[in-house]
Structure 1
Amino acid sequence: MTELLIGLVITIAVGYYIVKGYKAAGVLLTAGISLLIIAGLLGHSVLPAKVASTGNLFTDSLEYVKYMLQYRGGGLGLQIMLLCGFASYMTHIGANNVVVKQFSKPLSCIKSPYVLLVAAYIVACLMSLAVSSATGLGVLLMATLFPMMTAMGISRPAAAAVCASPAAIILSPTSGDVVVAAEKSGLPLHVFAVETVLPVSICAIIVMAVAAFFWNKYLDKKDNTPMERVDISEMEVTAPGYYSILPFLPIIGVFVFNGETIPGLKLDIYTIVVLSIAIGALVDFLTNRLNGKITLDNLESCYAGMGDAFKGVVMLLVAAGVFAQGLMTVGTIDNLLSLADKAGAGGIALMLLLTALTVAAAIATGSGNAPFYAFVELAPQLAGKLGLSPAFLIIPMLQASNLGRTISPVSGVIVATSGMAKISPFDVVKRTVVPVVCGLITVILGTLVLVPMYS
């Protein structure tokens, strides 16, 4: 229990200092390194098995910072920088203004920005079928849909929350955690994913969309949140109309190249974004009558956007990763597992306890996968002791891990979307918390109604 208390105290301290206005990256990095050092002093291994020790407790903690810079800076961080650079480039050459101008005509009949918000959320949820990474999807939506949403009158916090939320509920039947959950439930993948999880997911998405409508409308009015609805008649549009397709190239590319649509050709999101930038530059080059100097000058905005993304978003992700590793290394997750194992509760009470612990761990660590993979190992054993169906315990945990991540101010998707929107992570969490709670309640009720309790 000492490790659990240490984790809780430092987590509360992190929240306190971030709310007080301290830079989030520095707070998270300091807390994470402190947790790693404390974990080492308590006899825990500071580094994961795949990272070689330096031979010293303090330098091991710094070694993990280096590892996170390489892992997130070169992986997810590169994706974020590319997409932020692409978004800056689209703004600089005027493509985003063209999109707003053209879409404003068919959307002008919709007077409420909150109806547009719900429509954007549904589209974003469908995008999760093509992009499995919550953070990757959030960044993609921030680079493509976010400028249009804010220009159409949706507040920045509400628009960022839409981009952060679509992966809160799992739709894809082939995502890694669904495959693991099906295996631990002892059910065939198609039965577990399509016949059991999907109906619950659809119900939760509908409820969350309705909750997002009313909650964002309430907060905008209560906080007097400034709207950025653009007066289309006064908008200066210098780019030609066909530029409107350019901001959507990454989304089109995901659907076309991230599978076997074209036999033998499959591109990952990194190459898709690079290709989108290249196509944009080629179109700009032809539009400017083969003036290479103007084209290359315009491309500088892309590089500047990438640099801003590293400073404002990627370092936050690195710091959040170090903090999450510190919490797990010090034993916080293991202590939560111990609490679940000792719970002598009935079927429904045990399901609620496991779900609550999974949400708590996801909020604390900012990870959806780590808490779920830890707790799912325990579920079949606990289900066996009480004669329960493992799926009855696992389905709420599966959804709870992703829902909890969506209201964690240190999760990758919240950090990335808030950083790109230039607002506090807590502003995004404030917008997602009520829809997430409504979604979690729906998942629990859906499990009670649709999933047999006993095997």
Structure 2
Amino acid sequence: MLELIIGLVVAIGVGRYIIKGYSATGVLMVGGILLLIISALMGKSVLPSSAAATGWRATDIAEYVKILLMSRGGDLGMMIMMLCGFAAYMTYIGANDMVVKLASRPLRMINSPYILMIAAYFVACLMSLAVSSATGLGVLLMATLFPLMVNVGISRGAAAAICASPAAIILSPTSGDVVLAAKAAEMPLVDFAFKTTLPISIAAILCMAVAHFFWQRYLDRKSGEKHEMLDVADITTTAPRFYAILPFTPILGVLIFDGKWGPELHIITVLVICMTLTAVIEFIRYFDAKKVFAGLEVAYRGMADAFTTVVMLLVAAGVFAQGLSTVGFISGLIGTAQSFGSGAMVMMLVLVLITMLAAMTTGSGNAPFYAFVELIPKLAAQMNVNPGYLVIPMLQASNLGRTLSPVSGVVVAVAGMAKISPLEVVKRTSVPVLVGLVVVIIATKLLVPAH
């Protein structure tokens, strides 16, 4: 119980100071280091089991920050920086302007930008089949769909919410957590993924789309934000018309190089190919190497800006999440779940609530799910309950809760690239996510037998 109280107190304090306008990076870093110090004083290990201890718990804290800097700066961070650099490059060469110029005329036939927003949401959900990482998908959408959505009349907050929320509901039948959930549910993967989970996911996505339409429109009207479609007459780009394809080449690359149509390539590799292809096209267009190199310098500066605004925030969020884990917050939640009484529906709701809370506070969907899913076979056997009845809503709740976390990688990355507060993104995703959660619970009750 003490661990739960410590975690909640620090989490509330972090939220309070972020709301008051303090730097989210600084507040999260201080909160995470404070939790790690408390963990060390309680005699708990600060580093994950895969990392070698330094010998002193005080230096273990600094060692963990180093581990995060290397991992998030070298893999996830590099992907974010590459995408931000690519987006800056597309703006510099006029490709984004050409997309808007060509798309604005037919899109004007649709009176409501919110209908376009929902269409973008469905496209983004389909992209989750190709990009398994929630953060990776979010930054890919921010670099490609976000500029288009904003320029056709969708507010920045609404567009950011669309980019942050596709991974809130699981569609991919082969993701790691689906495979683990199928094992815990004691069902064949095909039956679990396609016959049981997929119908629930589709129902939730459809209802979340409707919720997005009304919630984003309500928030825009409440804030008085008016974002008109960019007037085509104001666009003075000299870029060729075919340049409109270039901003979407990363999406095409991810779909082509997925291991089925061609070799399976990392998204950073795809981005290197896309930027190289663009630079070659620019050289053919101008036959001026100096101009091509100047454009690439813009891309490099975009990468540097992304490190400052997004990657360091991700590092700070990671320190905070590790602090909550090491202090015993997650294990405290597991103990709370086990203390509740009988009743399949009651236990399902308790597991959903606790998984959501853990995902919201730690910013991770996988960590709480992987921790709690170990309970399912034992709980199901004790209560004579179908394990699938417990695991399916818990699986979805872990991803939905991540989308409501101001410290999750996807929310932090999207907020940083949109230049808005993570809390604004959470506010924008809150109602659609809660609608999705209710639909998941109801659909599970209707479609999955409890016994």
TM-score by length of 2: 0.99
AA paired with 2:205? I
2:189 aligned residue: 189
- Residue 408 of structure 1 and its aligned partner are, at CA, apart by 0.4
Aligned pairs for 1:181-330 within 5 A: 181-262=181-262, 265-288=263-286, 290-330=287-327
Task: Work out whether 1:389 is the aligned partner of 2:403.
Answer: no
2:109 aligned residue: 109
SS at match of 1:14: helix
Deviates more, 1:290-299 or 1:355-364: 290-299
SS at match of 1:378: helix
Task: Work out whether 1:66 is the aligned partner of 2:88.
Answer: no
SS at match of 1:47: coil
Q: Percent of counterpart pairs with the same letter?
A: 60
SS at match of 1:38: helix
- Residue 380 of structure 1 and its aligned partner are, at CA, apart by 1.3
1:73-131 CA-to-partner distances (Å, cap 9, x unmatched) read 10100000000000000001100000011111221211101001100000000000000
- Residue 234 of structure 1 and its aligned partner are, at CA, apart by 2.0
The answer for unaligned runs of 5 or more in structure 1 is: none
| Runs of 4+ that moved beyond 2 A | none
2:8 aligned residue: 8
1: CA distance, partners of 2:406 / 2:383? 36
1: CA distance, partners of 2:291 / 2:7? 53
SS at match of 1:106: helix
1: CA distance, partners of 2:221 / 2:342? 43
1:38 aligned residue: 38
- Residue 228 of structure 1 and its aligned partner are, at CA, apart by 4.9
- Residue 373 of structure 1 and its aligned partner are, at CA, apart by 0.4
AA paired with 1:369? N
SS at match of 1:377: helix
- Residue 40 of structure 1 and its aligned partner are, at CA, apart by 1.2
1: CA distance, partners of 2:259 / 2:389? 32
2:430 aligned residue: 433
1: CA distance, partners of 2:86 / 2:258? 19
Deviates more, 1:138-147 or 1:221-230: 221-230
Aligned pairs for 1:397-416 within 5 A: 397-416=394-413
Task: Work out whether 1:380 is the aligned partner of 2:377.
Answer: yes
Kept after mapping to 1: 8 A contact 2:82/2:271: yes
- In the superposition, relative to structure 1, how do residues 122 and 429 fare at CA in structure 2: closer, same or farther (>3 Å)? same
Kept after mapping to 1: 8 A contact 2:342/2:383: no
1: CA distance, partners of 2:389 / 2:347? 10
AA paired with 1:442? V
1:154 aligned residue: 154
SS at match of 1:75: helix
2:143 aligned residue: 143
Query: Among 360, 364, 378, which residue is 1:367 paired with?
Result: 364
The answer for unaligned runs of 5 or more in structure 2 is: none
AA paired with 1:70? M
Kept after mapping to 1: 8 A contact 2:404/2:429: yes
- Residue 226 of structure 1 and its aligned partner are, at CA, apart by 3.7
SS at match of 2:177: helix
AA paired with 1:373? Y
2: CA distance, partners of 1:313 / 1:216? 24
1:55 aligned residue: 55
SS at match of 2:385: coil
2: CA distance, partners of 1:266 / 1:332? 38
AA paired with 1:124? A
AA paired with 1:8? L
Task: Work out whether 1:450 is the aligned partner of 2:440.
Answer: no
AA paired with 1:103? A
1: CA distance, partners of 2:234 / 2:83? 28
1: CA distance, partners of 2:389 / 2:377? 10
1:89 aligned residue: 89
1:304-363 CA-to-partner distances (Å, cap 9, x unmatched) read 000000000000001101100000000000000000111113100000000000000000
Kept after mapping to 1: 8 A contact 2:249/2:274: yes
2: CA distance, partners of 1:257 / 1:72? 23
Q: Count residues in correspondence.
A: 451
SS at match of 2:109: coil
**RMSD (Å) for aligned C-alpha atoms:** 0.7
2: CA distance, partners of 1:183 / 1:222? 46
